[in-house]
Chain A
Amino acid sequence: MSIPTEVLYSALSTLVSFLVTIVILSYVIGDNPFFQVVLHIFIGVSVGYVLVVAWNQVIWPELLHPVVAGIALQDLRAVWLLLPLVGSLLLLMRAVPRVAILGQLPMAYLVGVGSAVIVGGAVLGTLLPQIDATIGAFDLRSARLHPFLTLFSSVLILVGVLGTLAYFHFGARQLEDGTIRRNALVGALTWIGRVYIAVSLGVIFAGLVLTALTAFISRVASFRELFDALDAIGKHF
C-alpha cells in the first residue's frame, strides 16, 4: 500500500479546507471561538504568504541580490539600486515610532509617483476614451443595429452619463430671496441620474449576489471534494 504524495496532499488539503469552511460558515449562527481561531489563523497565514511573496519575488531578487552581487562584481549598475535600498530602509523605519518620520520620504515618493500615474491614466485611459465613446455612439455609420435603435440607445446612454454626473454635481445658485436652488435643467437631470444610478447599482448588486452565490456553491462543492479525496485514498487500501 503506497499512497501517492499528490493524493495525500489533496486529501489533507481538502480536509483542512473543509474544516475551515465549516467553521467560517458557522458564523451564520453567531460569532464563536472556533470562528475567531480560524479567522486569526487565516490572517496570519495570509500575511505571512504575502510577505514571503514580496521577499522571494521582489525584495531579494530585484533589490538585495543585485546590490550584493553588484558590489561583489563591482558592477556599477548596482549603484542605481542603492537609492531604493536607502528608501527601503527609511520606509522600514516607519515601524519604529521614534524614527518613523524618516519614512515619510519614501512614502512621499510612492504617493507622488502613484498619483502621477493615476492622473495620467484617468485622463488618457478613461476620461477621454469614455467621452469619445459617448459622442461616437451617435455615429450612425458604424451602427450595428438599426439606426433608430442606435440613436435611441445613444441618447439613453448620453442622458445616463449626464444625469449621473449631474447627480454628483452639487452646485446651486442663490436667489434674491436667499434661497438656494439648482438650475431646473440640472435638477431634472439629477432626478434622471438618480434613476440611472439606482439601475446601475442594482445591476452591480445583482452581480455581487451572483459572485457570492458562486462562492457559496464552491464551498458546498468542497464538501463533496472531501468525499472524493477520501474515496481516492480508500482506493489505495
Chain B
Amino acid sequence: MAEIKCPMCGKPNPDDLDACQFCEARLKPVTDELSRSQPPIHVGDEPTKKDTAELEPVLPKWLREVRQQARESVEEQDEEQEQQEPVGAGDQHEDLLAGLQSDIEEDEIVPDWLSNLHGGEPSEIQDAIEISEDRLRAISGDAESSNSDMGTGDRLPGWASHPDAAQETREGGETLGDWLAREVGKEKAQEAGEKAPEESRAGFGLRGDAETDLSFQGESVDESAQFEGEIPSWLRVDENDATSEGGIGTKPLEEPAYREAPEDVQVGESAQDEPVDAMPDWLSSLGEETDGHQAGGDETVAGNGQAVKDDQGPPGAESELSFGASRPESSDEDEIPAWLAQMGEEEHQDEAVHSASEAGPEERIPRPAVQPEADEGWQDLSEVKPFALEQDVVPNEAADGSALLGEEDGAGPGEDVDALFSIEMPDWLSAVEQSAGPQASPEPEADSEVIRPAELPSWVQAMRPVEAFVSGEGAGGERSDTEQKGPLAGLSGVLPLVPGVGPSSKPKTYSIKLQASEDQLASAEQLEQLLEAESYPRPAIPRPGLPAQRWLRMTIFALLLIVVGFFLFAGTSVMYIPLSVTAGTAQALNIVREELLPDAAVLMVFDYQAAFAPELEASAAPLVDHMMLLKHPRLTLLASKPSATGLSERFMHNTQPGQSYVNLGYLPGDAAGALAFVENPRSAKPAIVDGQSQWETPALQGVTLVSDFAAIFLLTDEADTARIWIEQLHNRRGATRLVLISSSQAGPLLVPYMESGQIDGLVVGLEGGAPIEKVNSNRPGTVRRYWDAYGFGLIITITMIVAGSFWNLFSGWQANRKKTGEK
C-alpha cells in the first residue's frame, strides 16, 4: 500500500487515510477531489452553473481568521509560513464572494444578507462593473486608442485615470446595462443584452439574473444602512469601506483590481484611519498589515512589499509578506523566479505583460491546456493577498491592460487573448511589480506598440474566480487554507487547499440564517454561537455508580467464584465420575490398552495455545499416563504452535516427570508444515540439537515416515488446526492410529471425522478425561480435583442461564405488553 508522509509530523501513513494516524493532521487537501473534478475554466467556455451557496457560511469564520493571521503576519514577518496565511485567506475571500455571486445567478434568489450587501454597496458593485466595462473598452473597443495609455506605467488607462469613475457608476447603473449589451454581446449577445438593463441596476446581475436584487437595488444606500445591525459584521464593515473608499467592497466581487488608482491608494490609508471594527475583517486585518508596512516607511501606497522591507529587512522579504506564496526575492534577480522577475520588469515597462505571460506562469507549470496562461494566471492570482491587490490597482491595471495586449501581440488573438485576460484579472502582477520594481531591470517596451484590439471572450465566464481558482488549484496545488482539526488547527498554508471550500462544515445552517427574515437575522449571532458550541466536545459526565450490565457480570462472576472456590478449597469428592464413555473415548482407551505395542514409537503433537493448557492437560494426562504405565512407549513431542513447545515441556513436567522423551520442537508453516512432516518427517523437522539430529536418538530409531509411529496423539484446542492434521494425515498414516484429545469447544466439530473413520479416537474435555482417569486409578488426579467444582459450576451456570432467560423473557414480554397498552 502506498504511503503518504504527514506534512505535520512527517510520519508515513497509508494513502487511504484522510487524517494522520499519529497527529490527526489532514493528509489530503480537501479540495483535491474538487480540483480534479472541476477542470480549469477557459476563457470563452460556456458558463456552467455552480452552486457555491455552501460557501457563504464560511465567510465570517475565515474573515476572522484572516484578520488574526494578518496580525500574526505583522508580528512575525520573518516567518514565511505566516506570511502566506493571509494569501490563502485572500484567495478564500475572493473565491467565496465569487461563489456567492454565482449562487445568486443560478438560483435567482437573493438572500437577505446578499440584498443587504447589495444595498450597502451598490456603488461598489457598480464599480466593478464599471471597471470591467472600462477594461473591456480598453481591451477591445478602445484598444486601439488606449494602446498608448496602457502601454506606459505612468499613463493609466482611461478608466483608471478617472478617480470618480466609481462614483459615476454608482449613480449610473444604466451605463452598465449598456455596456453589457454592447460588450458581452460579443459572446452571448442575446442573453446578456436582454438582461442588461436589469442587471445594470442590480450590480450582481452582471452574471446572472438576480431579479430580486433589483428591488433592493432600487433602495438607497441609506436604506440599506438600516439593516446594518442585522448584517454580519463583515458585510457592515464592507459597506463602510465602500462608502468611504468607493470600491473596496467590490473586491469580494472578484474585480478588485480594476479600480481607479487614486482609490486604491487611498485604501491603504483608510485602512489605518478607519477603526478596525468598521472594516471587514479581512480588510481590517490587511489594514493592520498595512500598518506594519507603513511603520517601515511610507511606501505602502506605492508598493506594499517594499514598505515592510524598509522596516525589517531586505525588500524581498517585504514583498513576500504581501504576496505570500509568490514570495519574490527582489533583492537578487537571479533568485527571483522567472515569472516573478518578468513581472518586475513589467512594472517598469508598460508592456510588461508580454514577458509575464510568456515566461512566467508557463515556465513554472507547463500545462497542455489550450490556454495554459490563463490557468497559470489564476493560479498565481490565488496566491495574492487581497490587500496587495487593492494597493496596486493603478499599476496593476496598467500592467494588466498592457499585459493583455502584449500577450495578444505575442501569442496572437483568440484564445490566447482570453488567457491573458484571465491572467490579468487579478492584480497580483502589478503588485509584484510594485515590490520588485526597484530591482527589476528595464525591459524593452516594443511590445506595447504591437498591441492590437483584443477580441473579447466571454470574460464574464473567465472571471469567475471560484472555478478559476479551483482549476488553478488543481494545477499548481500551492494553495493553502486553515487547518480545522488536529494539532494544525488554526494554521494556514500547511496544506494545499482551495480557499473557501474546506471549512464548510455548517453551510446549511449559515445559509438558513442568512436567508432568514429580518427577525431571524436579529438572532443570527446567537444561533452562530449555538452552532459553534456544537462543534466543541463536552466533557463526559461520569455516571454515578456502575451500570446494571456490569453488576450482572459481577454477580455471575461472584457466584461462580464462590461455588467453584468452595469446592476446590474444600477438596470434596461429591460428584460421581461415570465409567460410561463416548465411542471416541472408548476407542482411544482401547488403542492405548490393546493396540499399542510396548516400546512403540508414539508421536504427540501439541497443537494448542496456553489458554487451553489447563483443560487439555487435565484431559490428556490420564490417557497419556495410562499409556506410559502400560506400554512405556518412546515418546516424541512436536509442537505446531510456537508456544506449544513450552506447553509440551510443561505437560511432560507436570504429568510425566522423569519420563524420557524427544522433543522435536516447533514446526512452523501450519498446513505446509503438517504436510511436510507427514510426507517426510526427518526433512521437515531435522531437529538438530548440539550438532546431533534428534532422529538419531533411540526414541526415534527406525522412524523415517510418519506411518512408522504406532500412534499419533494430537492435542488440539481448535477444530481448524486439527482439521489440517487430519486432512494431511488422511491416506498417509497407514496403520498408525490417530487419537485426538481436544478441548470441549473443538470437540463437536471433530465428531464427523470420528464418524468417517479419519480419526481413531476422540477424547473431549474434562468429560472425556474423567473416566480414563478413573480407570487409571485416579492418576494423575487433576480431573478428580476439578470434578466437583466442574459439576457445581455447571449447575450454577445452568441455573443462571435458565433463571436469567426466564426473567428476561418475562420482562421483555411485560415491556411489550406495556407498549401495546400505550398504543
A204 to B565, CA, bound (A): 26
Closest to B611 in A: A215
Q: A62 an interface residue at 8 Å Cβ cutoff?
A: yes
- Residues of A near B756 (CB, < 8 A) are 129-130, 132-133
Q: Decide yes or no whether A209 CB sits under 8 A from chain B.
A: yes
Is B12 close to A, CB under 8 A?
yes
Residues in A whose Cβ lies below 8 Å from that of B803: none
Once the chains bind, are A53 and B614 in contact (CB under 8 Å)? no
User: What CA separation (Å) do A124 and B675 show in the bound complex?
Assistant: 13
The residue from A122, A132, A210 contacting B727, defined by CB atoms under 8 A apart: A122
Q: Is the pair B666, A57 in contact by a Cβ cutoff of 8 Å?
A: yes
**Docked-complex contact A58 and B793, CB < 8 angstroms:** no
Q: Which residues of A contact B748 (CB under 8 A)?
A: 200, 203-204, 207
Q: Are B686 and A61 in contact (CB under 8 A)?
A: yes
Q: How far is the CA of A25 from the CA of B557 in the complex (A)?
A: 9
CA distance A206 to B688 in the complex (A): 43
Residues 14-66 of A at the B interface (beta carbon under 8 Å)? 25, 28-30, 46, 49-50, 53-54, 57-58, 61-62, 65
Rounded to whole angstroms, the CA-CA distance of A57 and B674 in the bound complex is: 16
Count chain B CB atoms within 10 A of each CB in A29, A132, A218 and give the residue with the most.
A218
A74 proximal to B (CB < 8 A): no
Residues of B in contact with A, size category: 35 or more
* B730 interface neighbour in A30, A114, A124, Cβ under 8 Å: A124
Q: Nearest residue in B to A128 (C-beta to C-beta)?
A: B730
Across the interface, do B560 and A114 meet the contact criterion of CB distance under 8 Å?
A: no
Expressed in whole angstroms, the minimum distance between the Cβ of B695 and any Cβ of chain A is 13
Q: Which residue of A lies closest to B794 (CB)?
A: A213
The residues of B that contact A53 with a CB separation of less than 8 Å are 642-643, 645-646, 665-666
8 Å CB contacts to B: which residues of A113-152? 113-114, 117-118, 120-122, 124-126, 129-130, 132-133, 137
For residue A7, CB closer than 8 A to chain B, the reply is: no
Chain A residue, CB-CB nearest to B557: A28
A117 vs B748: C-alpha distance in the bound complex, in angstroms?
25
B564 at the A/B interface (Cβ < 8 Å)? yes
Q: Is residue A211 contacting chain B, with contact meaning CB distance below 8 A?
A: yes
Report if B580 contacts A (CB, 8 A): no
Question: Given that A53-B666, A97-B12 are known contacts, is A220 also in contact with B561, CB under 8 Å in the complex?
Answer: yes
Q: Which of B550, B672, B752, B785 contacts A114 (CB 8 A)?
A: B672
Assess whether A191 is interfacial by the CB under 8 Å rule. Answer: no
Q: State whether the Cβ of B439 lies closer than 8 Å to any Cβ in chain A.
A: no
In the complex, chain A residues whose CB is within 8 Å of the CB of B786: 214, 217-218, 221
* CB–CB B758/A207 < 8 A: no
Min CB–CB distance A150 → chain B (angstroms): 12
**Residues A213 and B793 in contact in the complex (CB < 8 Å), given A58-B668, A124-B731, A221-B785:** yes
* Given A204-B749, A213-B793, residue A54 in contact with residue B755 (CB < 8 A): no
Q: Which residue of A lies closest to B12 (CB)?
A: A97
In the bound assembly, the distance between CA atoms of A206 and B689 in angstroms comes to: 43
* Nearest opposing residue in chain B for A204, CB measure: B748
Assess the A126–B727 pair: CB atoms within 8 A: yes
Q: Is the interface of A mostly helix, strand, loop or mixed?
A: helix
User: How far in angstroms is the closest Cβ of chain B from A199?
Assistant: 10
Interface residues on A, range: 35 or more
CB pair A217 B564 closer than 8 Å: yes
Report A-chain residues with C-beta under 8 Å of the C-beta of B46: none
The answer to whether A220 and B568 touch (CB under 8 A), given A53-B645, A97-B3, A204-B749, is: yes
Q: In the assembled complex, which residues on chain A have CB atoms less than 8 Å from the CB atom of B531? A: none
A198 at the interface (CB under 8 A from B): no
CA distance A223 to B797 in the complex (A): 21
Mask, B613-653, CB within 8 Å of A = 1, is 01100100000000000000000000000110110000000
Closest A residue to B609 by CB, please name it: A46
Closest B-chain residue to A62, C-beta based?
Answer: B686
- Chain A residues with CB under 8 Å of B618's CB are 214, 218
- Chain A contacts for B553, CB-based, 8 A: 28
- Give the total number of A-B pairs whose CB atoms are below 8 A apart: 161
8 Å CB contact of B554 from A28, A137, A207, A218: A28
Q: CB within 8 Å of A: which of B10-35?
A: 12
Q: Are B671 and A118 in contact (CB under 8 A)?
A: yes
Of residues 87 through 123 on chain A, the ones whose CB sits less than 8 Å from some CB of chain B are 97, 110, 113-114, 117-118, 120-122
Contacts of B12 in A (CB 8 A): 97
- Chain A residues within an 8 Å CB radius of B669: 114
Q: Which residues in A have their C-beta under 8 angstroms from that of B414?
A: none
Q: Given the complex, which residues of B lie within 8 Å of A122, measured CB to CB?
A: 727
- Interface flags, B724-736, vs A, CB<8A=1, else 0: 1011111100000
Instruction: List chain A residues, Cβ under 8 A from B675.
Output: 117, 120-121
User: A30 — which chain B residues lie within 8 A by C-beta?
Assistant: 546, 550
Q: In the docked arrangement, what's the CA distance between A203 and B560, Å?
A: 21
Contact check, B797 vs A213: say whether CB atoms are below 8 A apart: yes
Bound complex: CA of A224 vs CA of B717, how far in Å?
26
- List, in ascending order, chain A residues with CB within 8 A of B642's CB: 49-50, 53-54
Please determine whether A126 and B723 come into contact, CB atoms closer than 8 angstroms.
yes
Across the interface, B797 reaches (CB within 8 A) one of A25, A110, A209, A224, namely A209
Given known contacts A28-B553, A57-B665, is B614 in contact with A214 (CB within 8 Å)?
yes
Q: How far is the CA of A58 from the CA of B708 in the complex (A)?
A: 24
The one of A57, A65, A208, A218 that contacts B745, using a Cβ cutoff of 8 Å? A208
User: Shortest beta-carbon distance, B674 to chain A, in Å?
Assistant: 8
Determine if B569 is an interface residue (Cβ-Cβ < 8 Å).
yes
Q: Is the CB of A125 within 8 A of B643?
A: no
Determine how close the nearest CB of chain B comes to the CB of A132; give it in whole angstroms. Answer: 7
Of all chain B residues, the one with the shortest Cβ separation from A208 is B745
Q: Which residues of B contact A113 (CB under 8 A)?
A: 672
Q: Please give the distance in Å from A142's CB to the nearest CB on chain B.
A: 11
Q: Which residues of A contact B790 (CB under 8 A)?
A: 213-214, 217
Q: A61: nearest residue on chain B (CB-CB)?
A: B688
Instruction: Determine whether B767 belongs to the interface, using a CB cutoff of 8 Å to chain A.
Output: yes
Looking across the interface, which residue of chain A has its beta carbon closest to that of B752?
A130
Q: Is B594 in contact with chain A by the CB < 8 A criterion?
A: no
CB-CB nearest in chain B for A25: B557
Chain A residue numbers with a CB within 8 Å of B610 are: 46
Q: Given the complex of chains A and B, what is the CA–CA distance between A57 and B611 in angstroms?
A: 22
Cα(A126)–Cα(B564), bound, Å = 40
Q: Which residues of A contact B747 (CB under 8 A)?
A: 207
Given the complex, which residues of B lie within 8 Å of A209, measured CB to CB? 797
Distance (whole angstroms) from the CB of B781 to the closest CB of chain A? 12
B743-A125 in contact (CB<8A): no
Inter-chain contact B645/A217, CB cutoff 8 Å: no
> What is the minimal beta-carbon distance from B722 to any residue of chain A, in angstroms?
11
Other-chain contact of B568, A110, A118, A221 (Cβ < 8 Å): A221
Chain A residues contacting B672 (CB-CB under 8 Å) are 110, 113-114, 117
Whether B341 is near chain A, meaning CB under 8 Å from some CB there, is no
How far, in whole Å, are A224 and B564 apart by their CA atoms in the complex? Answer: 12
Partner of B615, one of A114, A117, A214, A220: A214
Most buried by B among A126, A208, A223: A126
A42 to B522, CA, bound (A): 62
Bound CA–CA A125/B733 (angstroms): 12
Q: Are A217 and B744 in contact (CB under 8 A)?
A: no
**A interface residues with partner B (beta carbon < 8 Å):** 25, 28-30, 46, 49-50, 53-54, 57-58, 61-62, 65, 97, 110, 113-114, 117-118, 120-122, 124-126, 129-130, 132-133, 137, 200, 203-204, 206-211, 213-221, 223-224
> Can you list 18 A-B pairs with a CB-CB distance of less than 8 A?
A53-B665, A57-B665, A97-B3, A113-B672, A117-B728, A120-B675, A121-B671, A121-B675, A122-B727, A125-B727, A126-B727, A129-B758, A207-B747, A213-B790, A213-B793, A214-B614, A219-B614, A220-B789
What are the 3 A-B residue pairs with the smallest beta carbon separation, nearest first?
A125-B727, A218-B614, A121-B727
Which of B's residues lie within 8 Å of A, judged by CB?
3, 12, 546, 550, 553-554, 557, 560-561, 564-565, 568-569, 610-612, 614-615, 618, 642-643, 645-646, 665-666, 668-672, 674-675, 686-689, 717, 723-724, 726-731, 743-749, 752, 755-758, 764-767, 785-786, 789-790, 793-794, 797
Taking A53-B642, A125-B729 as known contacts, 7 extra A-B pairs with beta carbons closer than 8 A to each other, sorted by chain A number, are A46-B643, A210-B794, A214-B618, A215-B612, A216-B564, A220-B561, A223-B568
